[in-house]
Amino acid sequence: MDATQEFGVEQNSSPAKACAYKGFTLWFTGLSGSGKSTISAVIETEFKKRGVKHEILDGDVVRTNLSKGLGFSKEDRDANIRRIGFVCHLLSRNGVVAVSAAISPYRAIRDENRRMIGCFVEVFVDAPLEVCEERDPKGLYKKARAGEIKEFTGIDDPYEEPLHPEVVCHTDKETPEESAQKILGRLRELGYIEW
């Protein structure tokens, strides 16, 4: 069952028409420690400067609130990402820019959300696994390597890279500010922002 069936949502027949109100979803995906939250914070600063209505759905915050009680099995991860997608759909269709910063490791669920939302810009935050492990701000990779965390994305659970993301940020080579400017430039090209 995909997100459109689970939540009883009609798919957008014309994404261009649906996006005319300027609501859209900016969907960050990448390994833990790749820089999703850091870049989304820079983007948020730019949105605030210009009075853009937006909401950040950070993976950790969502798990604490909207998805409390879900584990890390594939089924639970899919449910978590579907929930985030549904919230993004509601926000976007009401003229708000929804920014999702969650690992979202499975391509099929990301693609489901793209179909449901329509106005969807996928940002692949690409950093080599070894770089993410070096950063390891929460010590999760260390725990996963020690066997304390099971089914950890990138270690003993797969991460499926996007096939056709609108933007790729190489955070081992770019600063967060450079990545953010790349994203904003792409949003201008696509007609989502005009500044």
Which are the catalytic amino acids? Answer: 104
Rg (CA), the chain: 16
Distance CA 32, CA 68 (A): 19
Long-range pairs for 176-179 at CB < 8 Å and ≥24 separation? 176/35, 176/38, 176/39, 176/41, 176/42, 177/42, 179/35, 179/39, 179/42, 179/125
In Å, how far from its chain's centre is CA 89?
Answer: 13
In Å, how far from its chain's centre is CA 74?
Answer: 17
